[in-house]
Structure 1
C-alpha cells in the first residue's frame, strides 16, 4: 500500500500532515537547512570548505544526508561544471535522498540568477540597472521567462533573484544589483521579473531580496546598520516587496544582513511574520541570506551561540538556513533550553514540505540531462534587446549618431575587456573570488561591436590605462578578522600606471572622433571596483581613468564618453567639454553589439536613467524623490543632479502638449486620476518617448517627497507622428504611511507633473482628492496604467487643413 504522502491524488495538506507525522526530530531539522557540496556523478560528494560553510568529514556528511535535506546550495554554480555533467551529479544526490533514505524526501536546488543563471554556459544577461533603464516591464518579464527556462533545464527549483533594494547611496557597491532609486518602478519591474521567472504554475521560486532597506546602509557600506523609521521603511523600501508578493505571487523572500534600529532583520518577527505573512498574505518560504543566521552571534551580538541564533531566526519567521547548517544543526540544543518549541519546528517544516509538494518535486525529482539548451538564440535575443533599450544618452552635441564615414578611436580600459560588461553575479565575474576563470568568448566588447558595425579599417584601438593591474581574490579584511577595524590601513588596489596614455592620445589624434570607454570592473568583496562588498568613498572614476580622459579631451577631437559601470560617476568637470556622454551599465554578452547599434543609429536610443547622478559625492545620498528640506538651508551648492532620474536623450525631439484631466476631482475611496496629453515627434527620425507622471501631495499629515513617480510608458513614434497618451492612477496610489503607522489616503490637492524626466517637467495639472480620510485595505490598488494611440502624422495634419 502506498504511503498517503506519496499519493499525488491526495491534497497537499493531507500529504504534509501524513509525512510530518512520520518524521523524527532529526529529519525535521534536516528540512530546515541547506548544504553546500561539490557534487559528483558517482555519488562521492564532498563538502565545500570555506568561511561560509566550515567543513564536514564524510561520515558526518553521510549522517546528514541520511536524515534528509531541505535544499542543496548552488550545485552547478559553485564551480565550473559542464551543465549535463552537473545535472547528472545532482540527480545522483537526488537518487540517494529519494531512494535510500527512510522517507525519501527529495531536495530542492537553488542557484543565483540576478543577471542570468549563474552557471557555466548560461546566457550572460545585463545587470539589473540595465533592466531598469529600459523602463519596459514587458521586456523584463521576458527576461524572467528566459532565465526561468534555463533554471528548469538544470533541475533548479529556486532562483535567488530579483534584488528589490531601492538604491539610495551610489557609494554602496550593490547599487549595480538594483533596478534604481524609485520604489514604484522597482516594484513594477520586479513583479514582472517574478511573473516571468516563476510562470503560471510557480514551479520555480523567485526570491525577493534583500528584505528590506539594505540599500540605505550607514555610509553606503556593506552590511552596515540602517537608520530609519517605520514610515520611510514602509513607503520606500517595503513597497516593491509588497507589490511583488501581492501582484507577482513571489514564492520566496530572503532577509538582509543588516539591522534596522538595532534589530537584525534575520531576527525580526515584525518583518518576517507580522508584515510579510500576516499583513501581506505571503505563502512561500523565507530563506536566509548566506550565513545571515550565523551573524546574529558572530557580528550582531544578540545570540550567545549557534543554537540561540537558530532559535531567534526560526522563531522570527525563517524557514531554511542557507547556505549550510551552521546554526540549524544545533536546534535540538535550542529546544532543550526552551528557546524554540517543537510546535514552531513543525510550523516551519510544514511550510518547506508544502512548497516541495506544490512544485511537484515528489513526482518529478530528476532532471533530463539530455534536454539542456542554455544560451539559446531566443535567450540571447532577449539579452540583446535589454542591452539595446538600456543604453542612455546623457549628453549629445550632435556627434551621435556617428557619421558613417568617420574614423573612430576606441579607447579605454572597459573598451575591450569582456569582464567589464558583466555584473558581480554573473558566473565569470563571481568565479574571481574563488580564483577560477570561465570562458567569456561569447561576450561582445564595445571594440568588437564597433569593428563589426563600422569595419576594421575605421576603428583604431588603444587601452589607455588599467583599472586594476591584477584581478585577485580576497578582501583585505572582513569584520571579525581583526579586533578593531577603525584604525586599519588598507592599500588601494587601483592601478596608477600612466604609461599607456600617450598611445591613447595618438589614437585620438589620428581619428575623427574618440570613444572613451571608462567605468568599473564588477566583483564581490573588492575583487572589483563595484559589487557586493566593493563600496567607495568617491564618485571619481576609479584609478587613473580621469587622467586618461583629460588627456584625450585635450587633443581637441570630439570625445564620446561611454560609462560602463555599476554606479554613477562624475567626469571631473569635463561634462561641458565632451561631445557626448553615454551610460551603458553592465550590458552582458551582447553589450558591444547593442552599444554599436545605438551609437551608429541602427537602433534608436530609448534608455532612461533610474539613478540620479549626484553632482559630487558630497551630495550622496541623493535621489529625486527627496523631501523639500533635503537641499539644506540655504541650498547647498553640491546638492542635486545634472542628470536626474528619468533622464535620457533620443536622436529626435518630442513635444508634450494639451494636458487634459478627465475630472479635476477624484474620489479617494474608489476613484482614479485619469489624464491624457499629446506627444509629438518633432524631429526627422523615428524615436521612443518615455513619458513619466509625477505627483506631489501638497498638504499631508506627515512630510512627503517633492515628487513621486506614479505612472510611465514607452511610446514609439515615427517622425512627425503624434500620439494621445492616457495615464490612469488609482486613488490608492496617492497613499502613504500616516501618523499611526498604517497606509492611508487623505483628501486634498495633488500636483500632477508630466515630463520627460523628473527634472524635465513639460505639463502640470492639479486634482483634488475628495472624501474622508481612509485606511487602505490589504488588497489595495498598487499599479497604474498607460495607454496610447496614434492620432496624426505631420503629413496627415497638413492634408486635413488643406495647407
Structure 2
C-alpha cells in the first residue's frame, strides 16, 4: 500500500535531518546513524504498533510550550504546523517539540515541521515578499528562485522541513477570492514560476509541496471549494501541465490535494486522480498530503462519504498518505 511507502519515506527524511547522536552497544539499529537509512527504517517499522503507525499519518499542533505534554500525551505524530507565531516563537516551539518527541515518546521519532511559503515564510516577522500574482507578473523565474533561496535561509533557521507551496492553481475564474495566490491564468507561466520556487527551496533540502492537486483554481461560480468542470482534454492540457513539469524537473517530495471535485468526482477521495494519474501517469514518487479539512469534506461538503470513518478510508485508499484534519484517527479501529 502507498501508505507503507509514505511512512518509510518520512522516516527516511526525519532520520536524515536528525541532529542527535546515540552511542552504546544496545543502541537500536534505527538509531544508528552509521547504518543505511533503509535498514534503519525497516527496523523502526518492525517495532511500531498499529497505533503508532496511524499517528504518523496525522498532524498535531500545540500552540503553547506549556501545552505540549497535555496535547501530545507522550505520543509521536507525523507532522506539526504552528501558525500565527513569530519566527522566533515558532523556532523555539519546533525545537521544544523535537526534543519532546525524542525524549518523551516511546520510540523517539522526530516530527516533520511545516510552514506556508507562497510569498516567503508565513510566520510573523519573516520577510514578506509580493504575493504570487505579482511574482508571476515579473515573468522572471530566476528572480523568483532567488526569492525562495532567501526565504529558505529563514526557514532553515526556524527548523522547518516542509514548505506548503508553490500554488499551481490556474486563475481562470476571476470571481474566485484566492486569485492572488496564483501565478496567473497561463499553465506555462505557472509551471515556470513554480519550478523556480521549488528549486530555490530545494537548495536547503526542504520538502516542497505543489498544490492544489488538481484544478482547484477554477471553481464553479467563483465559489471557493466548488466543483470544476472541464473534461479529460482540459485536465491534461491545462490543469495537469504545471504538476507534470514540476514532477519531471524537480521531483518534489510531496503534493497537496485540493478541496474540489473535478467533473463531479472529489479529487481527495479518488484513486483515479490520486494514484492512476498522479503516480501512474505523472510519475510522482513522494507522499500526498491533504489540504486542511479536505478529507473531512468528503463527508460534510461532497457527501461522497457517509461518515468520518468512510471519508478516512476513502482518502487513504485513494492515495492520500497524510491527513491534516483529525479524520485519520478513525483508521486504527477500521483495520
Q: Give the corresponding residue for 2:79.
A: 71
Distance 1:220 1:14 in 2: 49
- Please tell me whether residue 334 in structure 1 is matched to residue 334 in structure 2: yes
Q: Give the corresponding residue for 1:88.
A: 92
1:273, CA displacement in angstroms? 1.3
Q: Which runs of 5+ in 2 are unaligned?
A: 1-25
Residue by residue, what CA displacement relative to the aligned partner does 1:87-120 show, whole Å, maximum 9, x if unpaired? 2222222111111211100001101111111111
1:84, CA displacement in angstroms? 2.9
Distance 2:59 2:151 in 1: 23
Q: Give the corresponding residue for 1:36.
A: 61
Q: Give the corresponding residue for 1:248.
A: 250
Q: Give the corresponding residue for 1:45.
A: 68
Q: Secondary structure at 1:216's aligned position in 2?
A: coil
Q: Give the corresponding residue for 2:113.
A: 109
Residues 164-203 of structure 1: matches in 2 within 5 Å?
164-199=168-203, 203=205
* Aligned-CA RMSD value: 1.5
Q: Which runs of 5+ in 1 are unaligned?
A: 47-57, 336-803
1:230 pairs, out of 225, 229, 232, with 232
1:307 and 1:287, CA in 2 relative to 1: closer, same or farther beyond 3 A? same
1:39, CA displacement in angstroms? 2.8
Distance 2:273 2:72 in 1: 36
1:12, CA displacement in angstroms? 2.3
Answer yes or no: is the 8 Å Cα contact 1:138–1:192 preserved in 2.
yes
Q: Give the corresponding residue for 1:702.
A: none
Q: Give the corresponding residue for 1:220.
A: 222
Distance 2:185 2:72 in 1: 47
Distance 1:108 1:7 in 2: 20
Answer yes or no: is the 8 Å Cα contact 1:110–1:159 preserved in 2.
yes
1:297, CA displacement in angstroms? 1.0
Residues 193-592 of structure 1: matches in 2 within 5 Å?
193-199=197-203, 203-322=205-324, 324-325=325-326, 327-335=327-335
Answer yes or no: is the 8 Å Cα contact 1:192–1:248 preserved in 2.
no
1:280, CA displacement in angstroms? 2.3
1:278, CA displacement in angstroms? 2.1
Residue by residue, what CA displacement relative to the aligned partner does 1:504-552 show, whole Å, maximum 9, x if unpaired? xxxxxxxxxxxxxxxxxxxxxxxxxxxxxxxxxxxxxxxxxxxxxxxxx
1:142, CA displacement in angstroms? 0.7
Answer yes or no: is the 8 Å Cα contact 1:293–1:313 preserved in 2.
yes
TM-score of the two chains, using structure 1 as the length reference: 0.38
Q: Secondary structure at 1:45's aligned position in 2?
A: helix
1:253, CA displacement in angstroms? 0.6
1:28, CA displacement in angstroms? 0.2
Answer yes or no: is the 8 Å Cα contact 1:39–1:90 preserved in 2.
no
Q: Give the corresponding residue for 1:723.
A: none
1:9, CA displacement in angstroms? 2.5
1:250, CA displacement in angstroms? 1.4
Q: Secondary structure at 1:109's aligned position in 2?
A: strand
1:333, CA displacement in angstroms? 2.5
Distance 1:187 1:80 in 2: 31
More strand as a share of residues: 1
Residue by residue, what CA displacement relative to the aligned partner does 1:635-673 show, whole Å, maximum 9, x if unpaired? xxxxxxxxxxxxxxxxxxxxxxxxxxxxxxxxxxxxxxx
Q: Radius of gyration: which is bigger?
A: 1
Distance 1:248 1:329 in 2: 32
Residue by residue, what CA displacement relative to the aligned partner does 1:460-511 show, whole Å, maximum 9, x if unpaired? xxxxxxxxxxxxxxxxxxxxxxxxxxxxxxxxxxxxxxxxxxxxxxxxxxxx
TM superposition outliers: structure 1 runs of 4+ over 6 Å: none
1:229, CA displacement in angstroms? 0.8
Distance 1:84 1:62 in 2: 22
Size of the aligned set, in residue pairs, is 310
| Bigger RCO of structures 1 and 2 (CA < 8 A, at least 6 apart) | 2
Answer yes or no: is the 8 Å Cα contact 1:26–1:67 preserved in 2.
no
TM-score of the two chains, using structure 2 as the length reference: 0.89
1:257, CA displacement in angstroms? 0.2
Distance 1:172 1:188 in 2: 23
2:147 pairs, out of 136, 143, 147, with 143
Answer yes or no: is the 8 Å Cα contact 1:307–1:333 preserved in 2.
no
1:179, CA displacement in angstroms? 0.7
1:10, CA displacement in angstroms? 2.4
Answer yes or no: is the 8 Å Cα contact 1:97–1:106 preserved in 2.
yes
Residue by residue, what CA displacement relative to the aligned partner does 1:173-207 show, whole Å, maximum 9, x if unpaired? 111111111111111111111011122x6x21111
Residue by residue, what CA displacement relative to the aligned partner does 1:307-350 show, whole Å, maximum 9, x if unpaired? 1111111111111111x42x111102322xxxxxxxxxxxxxxx
Residue by residue, what CA displacement relative to the aligned partner does 1:211-238 show, whole Å, maximum 9, x if unpaired? 1111121112111111111111111010
